[in-house]
Structure 1
Amino acid sequence: MPEIRTAHPVGRRGLLAAGGALGLGAALAACGGGSGSGAKSDASGGAASGKTGPWSFKDDRGVVAKADSTPRNIVAFVGTAAALHDYGIEVKGVFGPTKKKNGSPDVQAGDLDISKVTIIGNVYGEFNVEKYAALNPDLLATEQWQKGSLWYVPDKSKSQIAKLAPVVALEASQTTIPKAIQRHEDLAGSLGADLKSKKVTDAKARFQKAAARLRAAAKARPEITVLIGSASQDLFYVSLAKMSADTAYFQQLGVKFVTPKVDSQGYFEDLSWENVGKYRADIIMMDNRSSALQPSALTSKPTWQQLPAVKAGQVIPRVTEPIYSYDKCAPILDDLAQAIEKAKKVH
């Protein structure tokens, strides 16, 4: 699969493959197609805010979503919703990791005010179709982690869900951060966002500055090696950098990653905790999602404690599912650049 899912076997391997063109009911003209690599920004057309007339958007499955007017009642995967929020587009409902058990926002909610949105599903496989229908949705927006898939839309109810409103899926894995941001910006613009606002242009400038910093850090410290990790109770996962949008981009900027012997899916290698020291690295980036065990929960794992990067305090969070806006991705680049700049060579 295109991304490591660590805490639960279903979450790791149970991708929601929609397969081919998705039937979206009378409101949506579904055009079957490819993975979205050909869906460029010129395919992002739609009615801007204040304009009348039909709206359409070609997503990264190659499907064209259509509506009689610009969608206003939007329901989205929480990360997609958070990105739209950064461009000034608000949603009515969300699904995916939104609220922690203590009621606080999940890391994937970004700057969303989760008290002002209807949560129709908070965990993998949970999607309340009745709540969704009650919102009178004009659009459902989510991510694509595998060709034709709808992220966090349950396979068992996807056809029922797709009949209620047009659906848009944006590539989140087989791409790079800049390309993914562009596509989320395309969608926001089609929904009426002001892409020339100071907030947006300032965020883009911060992102470009951070990218230049990371490139410079990687060039100055070519000896520093980074491992992409994620933890569950029984296993430690080492990911292959080129298979995810964030780490593929970091690699393009010159960051040197550990290369695991990937499994049959080609994305990551499972290691028992006894074998967690198989790969040595100067920095470990650890999956920050609530579905994965965090470093603070690994103190009882002796083999973890013995890793050189852990001993040196060179473990940093990895934003495994980035919120694809310039505002949220700029700090990700800055944080990795800082870690490389300050890292000690420990192996």
Structure 2
Amino acid sequence: MSTTRSVSLSRRGILAAGGAVGIGALLAACGGDKGSAGANGGAKGGARSGPWSFTDDRKRKVSLKSTPQRIVAFTGTAAALHDFGIDDQIVGVFGPTKLKDGKPDPQAGDLDVDKVTIIGNKYDQFSVEKYAGLRPDLLVTNMYEPGQLWFVPEASKDKITTLAEQVAITSSRTPLVKIIERYAELAEALGADLGAKKVTDAKARFEKASERLRQAAKAHPVKVLACSGSADLFYASNPGINADLMYYKSLGVDLIVPDHLDKAGYFESLSWENADKYQADVLLLDNRTATLQPKDLAAKPSWAKLPAVKADQITPWSSEPRFSYAGSAPLIEALAEAIEKARKVS
């Protein structure tokens, strides 16, 4: 995660501070009903006339006169909907979208970032003016804490929420596959064809990858630590809250559970002098641009002494996964491969 401030600091303050430790750290300080498509349940090219509705994970039923045709979404959310076949309806995004070199941020997935209006490329860069100018029908984002719209700034939230209805999908404390299913329901309500080859192929790949990970964990019982590094702190994440970690654990991956978690239960923050508290065979290292990577950590003596680092058993962790079969399958495959190649060193 990201900062040395007390847990009373809001998750948004942590984001603004620029540090990060998996999604857990971002939120540290700071189930839903099934969605229902209304009479139309469709989108461009397939929408029927009539009202549209969807019950989001705030248990809030959003009702519109017709299927939303102008959607603005958090970048990762837009990318997930794109994977399910929702494309032309997405007119704007907010959140990490483009890197400094102009290339798509990993969270953008296969979304064509040059086709959408970016109303904010990082935390607290949400332009209300640009958003209003897009004439949105619907805003869609993740929800890591009850009632909190991910990457929608608190300072301008009241203005933003008066401009269009919102749909929020829970993104923590629920296994990955369940969240993906919710996004599939939303995409279908918006007009996606879940029977399309692109979608069914991605689901088959996801299921195959999951079975591969299950078999890898069984054949190679190594200890894995999901972690993140900042300049001052090393964070050990809790597999009991992060959606992807919960799913990996359910498949048999031996993920270390920190024993001194923050108040919200997301992670344990350790000084670099104590970075070796948990002896892991494999490190699942947060790979977001805001966090330190192996080349950045090489100068820290305590990092270099970790058994997994010595054995070069480090694999990237996309701690804010894309909640689609297409987005998650490669992550599961990568972890399976890392475990298959790993040896016990702790």
Indicate whether the TM-score tops 0.5: yes
Which residue of the partner structure matches residue 239 of structure 2? 241
Q: Deviations over 1:283-317 (max 9, x none)?
A: 00011111211122111111101111011110000
Aligned equivalent of 1:54, options 51, 66, 86: 51
293-302 or 200-209: bigger deviation: 293-302
Q: Give distance in 2, aligned partners of 1:344 and 1:138.
A: 52
- In the TM superposition, 1:83-232 aligns within 5 A as 83-90=80-87, 91-222=90-221, 224-232=222-230
How far residue 8 of structure 1 moved from its aligned partner, in angstroms, is 8.9
Q: Structure 2: how far apart are the matches of 1:135 and 1:305? A: 49
Shift in Å at residue 230 of structure 1? Answer: 0.5
Aligned to 2:18: none
**Which residue is equivalent to 2:73?**
76
Kept after mapping to 1: 8 A contact 2:7/2:262: no
Q: 1:71 touches 1:138 (CA, 8 Å); kept in 2?
A: yes
Whether the 8 Å CA contact 1:11–1:124 is kept in 2: the answer is no
TM-score with structure 1 setting the length:
0.89
Q: Residue 199 of structure 1 aligns to which amino acid in structure 2?
A: K
Distance 1:64 1:15, change over 3 A: farther
Partner of 1:19: none
Residue identity in the other structure for 1:194: D
RMSD across aligned positions (CA): 1.9
Report the residue type matching 1:138 in the other structure. Answer: D
Whole-angstrom CA distance in 2 between matches of 1:109 and 1:72: 20
Cα distance, 1:12–1:250 mapped onto 2, change above 3 Å: farther
Give the Cα–Cα distance (whole angstroms) in 2 for the partners of residues 59 and 12 of structure 1: 28
- Cα separation, 2, equivalents of 1:206 and 1:129: 39
User: What amino acid sits opposite 1:84 in the alignment?
Assistant: L
Runs of at least 5 residues in structure 1 that lack an aligned partner in the other structure: 17-36
Q: What SS class does the counterpart of residue 201 from structure 1 fall into?
A: helix
Q: Give the structure 2 partner of residue 310 of structure 1.
A: 309
Cα distance in 1 for residues equivalent to 2:256 and 2:179: 24
| Equivalences, count | 322
Alignment check: 8 A CA contact 2:32 2:58 kept? no
1:340 aligns with 339
Q: 70-79 or 291-300, which moves further after superposition?
A: 291-300
Q: Distance in 1 between matches of 2:6 and 2:114?
A: 28
Structure 1 letter corresponding to 2:338: A
Q: Percent identity?
A: 54
Q: Could you say if the C-alpha distance between residues 9 and 192 of structure 1 is closer, same or farther in structure 2, counting changes exceeding 3 Å? A: farther
1:252 aligns with: 250
- Aligned-partner SS, 2:104: coil
Find out whether 1:40 has 2:39 as its counterpart. no
- The question of 1:14 aligning with 2:43 is answered no
What's the TM-score, normalizing by structure 2? 0.89
Greater CA deviation, 252-261 or 77-86?
Answer: 252-261
Q: Note if contact 2:37-2:52 (Cα within 8 Å) is conserved in structure 1.
A: no
Deviations 1:67-125 (A, max 9, x none): 11100111000000000111121211100111112222111111111111111111112
Change (3 A) 1:11 1:69: farther
**Secondary structure at the counterpart of residue 121 of structure 1:** coil
SS at match of 1:341: helix
One-letter amino acid of the counterpart of residue 291, structure 1: A
Deviates more, 1:325-334 or 1:137-146: 325-334
Give the letter for the 1:257 counterpart: L
Partner residue of 1:294? 293
SS at the partner of 1:249?
helix
Runs of 4+ aligned residues of structure 1 deviating over 6 Å after TM superposition are 7-12
Report the CA distance between 1:9 and its aligned residue. 6.2
User: Which consecutive unaligned segments of at least 5 residues does structure 2 have?
Assistant: 13-30
Contact 1:78 1:108 in 2 (8 A): yes
